[in-house]
A and B are shown apart, each in its own frame.
Chain A
């Protein structure tokens, strides 16, 4: 019997657990346990609609325990505090987080919105909610008191780390939405607060106020530009619908080296004899929607009146702002890795950002890095029974060209590893664990240089009136060994705007939520 622990319940962890359970259910008695501080699965791609008040947050989540009870997976509502890879156990601490937004009144009791001197809405909830709270909670269990915490010790034969990232708002001064100057759509609760603040802005605009709105990335190394692109387009079309667009100046503020880069070095599409790029698509959208843009920029600070930026030329700018939704960078979480003598071995396991090193070729420059250097099996090299997937694995380098300002500020988007890419890596890691349970070597490959990237970026919500930017690319990481000209197979590339993408976006929302609830026929949904 194999004991398999899966840390995390996002795209990689939750889908990996379902896949593994399905494969192993008829192959002996194996025990699969998912450890997560959350009570719900959160479908983050739809939070863009929650953030403009077009969808209720509860439509983006479902209860995990019910699903795990149905398919006989153990569910531990807890944080992982320590991993002891030499002795094959983890130390957990029970979680008190209820991520179900239906119970929001209990969790956010006393929460209210108030206006600061600038007339800007900000949240004053006393208790910060964070789905990634395992990294923000004090680590009060250590090797010295393991005895006391024996009930919190869980042994494993195989471990899949898929806890997702820490939302590192602290990297930029005042970026955390709790301070009231920035908004976020990174978690259901953030998106709900953002919707409230957005609606308050709308009320002020209805009274005649003009607004300067900034959407994009809040740090030089942030990623997930696609989500920010969705949000800015949804804001534009929502203001058009409300006949308030002329009262808003909307600006895209991003760390991308070029428009339409999306942290993956953009997309080229062959159209007859011409090459059309995602840069053209983004530029076309921004010009059509009258959205201004400032790219190649790092954000140093945000306050109640301004955003303080530095661009790649080293120029500092202060931008007047009334409403901002700037995404934070991600880092690894603060789980301790303890060696057999009680020593801290995190440096051996993780890269400096805290992501777990797997079977990639690390240490190469951007110019040297190519497709074969990206991880394939997601197995850690020091401990063959540990895998890391989703955002948890350390990429061997950026996909977009890294840059530094003359002042030494890094302005280099991190590679996106969310959504479909996370799901594919979680699935591959799960299948490889199944291989090892059966005594075989890991054989499943989901390298980002060998798998596609699909991004349907909603611009306007709705089935009949909806609009979306559709981006498809194969592979995600350029593989010049395989495709010398562009590093990608342009036969599969898409970068276009239209209603068709809007339909797919709605379809993806419902099909993913259906599949991930393990409903009848879930396995045939890709």
Chain B
């Protein structure tokens, strides 16, 4: 009875489509005949395949695909991050490089300024020294002249005094007189060899 009921349900579901159970001997020319055994077999085979594949194939395959997609996405993100980082670094270094050029220019400028300044100082110093030296020489020449003059005056005074003393001290004869003058003159020339 249950089988019959099942069959009526099938017939009903097929909405009046002719359903003829497969005859034991040969098949009639009806493409819509419904073999219950085949239907049950299909259900069992399909569900078994589904469960086996879900456990051993679809699960691992899905997980594998997911994993691969994730790793590809991660790789892309990592590459993008790295590119960003590189871009930032490049900008940073370019900035630094531009700064360095400025710095170099400033250093050179300063060095040039320093050099000019130092050169100026050296020249000024040299000039001052030269002036000072020439003045010192002039002063020394003046001093030498003064001391020479002083000595000449001293000597001539002494000579006059001693001469006068000698004249006064002795009654001189004419020959004596002449000898005395010669003597003193020679002394004078010995004591005063040169005045330069």
A binds B: no
A interface vs B, CB < 8 Å? none
Residues of B within 8 A of A (CB): none
